[in-house]
Structure 1
């Protein structure tokens, strides 16, 4: 990095010239830096989930009543990092807390600090941690869905270094797959699948044509067409997600979030909705984001009455073929490691939730409560329950033994 004609190469040198600022307010503060934010996205080729449009849409849909806190760093007025947080009141271990939470939930795929590459980014993360320590009014920092070895993990290591209480738990393992190319330029996306699964894909196509009266056909739309989106949302709600109330259209906030994501991503050339059609009907569909090198099927739905024909797998196979043609080399399923995805790949990325406890008395008490007292009480309770069960079994054995001699005497007297 060059600073006033001087080449800076070490993290400490860059840290000395890095400024930091906490922007606090409503959703409008995103607009105040969105141009610089977008520029940082272009420089880092980041995931779509870190862009200001995605974060702003998330906040508008799910957090509009809460305060927004943007932690930012700059070098020579150039944005080098941004960490979007939400300040909210909540309960932790049954105790009231004021916490800062990363602007993400289960619809966000992943979350992390957006930062410049190299030493400038490393310096930015350390500057954000220093800024966070000076930021008032928080007991806990909660960072959801960050990847292993990501910048948020680096932030947690700084907290550990400075003696702050931290906790980390595994959220999920998200499958992904690489489309490989052999020496002749031929793409292969089925290399990790079993021979049986490849056979099933061929059988699925025959069964689907038999049941619908027409061969499966992939249709792609790069526009946020409301009618097509409505069909997708209805297809998703027609299955188990609709019955349990977790489908997109079961929540007005979630529906508004996905409609807006489709709108802005389509404008940026990063949205597509694939539908697998057979016999004149949509039998499977994927709501996806796409970049030059990665495809993200954020939501997948299929007609569960046609489950025997595997429409979801036929859809993914057709999408992968299209990705190969477009030279997109990775498909990132996101979400959890369920069987539908692991039939395609064994590779998965771990995502974590991390918590940092502020160093005031009350947060320190909460840390001790969660880290020491509650586990000890849980162990004592489990030990008590186990002893009670053992005594119950011993008592039942004694009672059973007490009945056996009487039964023998009775049988003996009948034969006397």
Structure 2
């Protein structure tokens, strides 16, 4: 696809091109940020997330960021893709996918377009990809919102048999009412009594305090506490699936710095007696608080330090006038105790029509059947032991 990154391809009234190098991507921050501010795109489509992901995690994947500009050259759309070459039983497969798709839990990935031009921009990108389908084998777009116009546009552009849509995750969230007292909000949750009781006890402990860090130059200590507490929380379960490996930690150190520079980061640390016992890593995205990850000291589990700190993030969001709190993927019980709404994400696979792409999908389906068959044959306790072993091995590597 080298020729694709060297020129623009005219589509409808928009001029569509592509950025194919990390150095060029590095210089797009301000223009990308202006487009994000003028769009309804989710938080993980931001340059501050995508660029460090390319640098720290997907070093073997080449960026292929599609761009759409209007008649005067203003950037009105982006589709942050990357290309990788996979070998399936010795057969090379060219796979396109969203940048940020793996390792870091990026929900709501999508085309980034100016408000009101989402379908137009997605259509221009879809037609470009269709015209160049001899240059790729499969297009995998994961974790789009189920109401994304990109899904319908791809169905309209490609043959029905070449587009497969599958459910991905359930994302619990809720709306916050401006001006509502925090206690009134608590009454609508399943955690009010426990929160108030646990918080009252903690407040009596020497050195109890909650720190919020959002300044770029003050992240080192709270991030170190966060990584330690997150790791401790998941150690008994074989390690974290959300943050594992030095490359992912390096990514988060970069991303949190960039987010803080934009005023988008919220790191909360609960301390008792001078020691950090719980931490929440959040992102501020327009009028939404995005709960990304957390951790706590297992020795303090019976004191519900995690519960109390989550409650305090709700309080802070409400006092800041935010109108939504999003827990992202996962239907853990503690989330449903705080919020009552859900949205879903989808994955879309598009075949370019090459036999390599078909073979890739068939090989994946066969491998999935074999894994599921092996899992069904194992006792539940053995399945869990295998899962924990894989987590520990992944954490080492």
- TM class, shorter-length: 0.7 to 0.9
Offset of 1:308 from its aligned partner?
1.7
Offset of 1:47 from its aligned partner?
3.3
- Cα distance in 2, alignment partners of residues 91 and 340 from structure 1: 41
Matched, 1:68 2:102: no
Equivalent position to 1:218, from 201, 210, 215: 210
Offset of 1:132 from its aligned partner?
0.7
Using a 3 Å threshold, how does the CA distance of structure 1 residues 106 and 191 change in structure 2: closer, same or farther? farther
Matched, 1:81 2:77: yes
Offset of 1:258 from its aligned partner?
0.6
Counterpart residue number, 2:111:
113
Whether the aligned pair in 2 keeps the contact of 1:284 and 1:300 (CA below 8 Å) is yes
Equivalent position to 1:251, from 218, 226, 245: 245
Whether the aligned pair in 1 keeps the contact of 2:296 and 2:306 (CA below 8 Å) is yes
Matched, 1:303 2:304: no
Whether the aligned pair in 2 keeps the contact of 1:164 and 1:359 (CA below 8 Å) is no
Whether the aligned pair in 2 keeps the contact of 1:100 and 1:142 (CA below 8 Å) is yes
| Cα deviation digits, residues 279-304 of structure 1 (max 9, x gap) | 33222111121144111121111122
Counterpart residue number, 1:103:
99
Aligned-CA RMSD value: 3.2
Whether the aligned pair in 1 keeps the contact of 2:269 and 2:276 (CA below 8 Å) is yes
Structure 1: which 5+ residue stretches go unaligned?
Answer: 1-13, 386-416
Offset of 1:179 from its aligned partner?
1.5
| Cα deviation digits, residues 184-219 of structure 1 (max 9, x gap) | x5454335423xx32111222245467xx3384321
Report how many aligned residue pairs link the two structures: 358
TM-score w.r.t. the length of structure 2 is 0.80
Using a 3 Å threshold, how does the CA distance of structure 1 residues 169 and 91 change in structure 2: closer, same or farther? farther
Matched, 1:37 2:32: yes
Offset of 1:351 from its aligned partner?
1.3
Offset of 1:112 from its aligned partner?
0.9
Matched, 1:132 2:129: yes
RCO comparison, higher one (Cα < 8 Å, 6+): 2
Offset of 1:338 from its aligned partner?
0.9
Using a 3 Å threshold, how does the CA distance of structure 1 residues 289 and 366 change in structure 2: closer, same or farther? closer
Counterpart residue number, 2:327:
333
Q: How does 1:349-388 map to 2 (within 5 A)?
A: 349-364=343-358, 369=362
- Cα distance in 2, alignment partners of residues 240 and 295 from structure 1: 24
Tell me, what secondary structure is at the counterpart of 1:132? helix
Tell me, what secondary structure is at the counterpart of 2:338? coil
- Cα distance in 2, alignment partners of residues 325 and 99 from structure 1: 45
Matched, 1:174 2:166: no
Whether the aligned pair in 1 keeps the contact of 2:103 and 2:248 (CA below 8 Å) is no
> Greater CA radius of gyration, 1 or 2?
1
- Cα distance in 2, alignment partners of residues 166 and 21 from structure 1: 24
Whether the aligned pair in 2 keeps the contact of 1:166 and 1:356 (CA below 8 Å) is yes
TM-score w.r.t. the length of structure 1 is 0.77
Counterpart residue number, 2:23:
28
- Cα distance in 1, alignment partners of residues 221 and 90 from structure 2: 45
Structure 2: which 5+ residue stretches go unaligned?
Answer: 1-9, 377-397
Whether the aligned pair in 1 keeps the contact of 2:93 and 2:356 (CA below 8 Å) is no
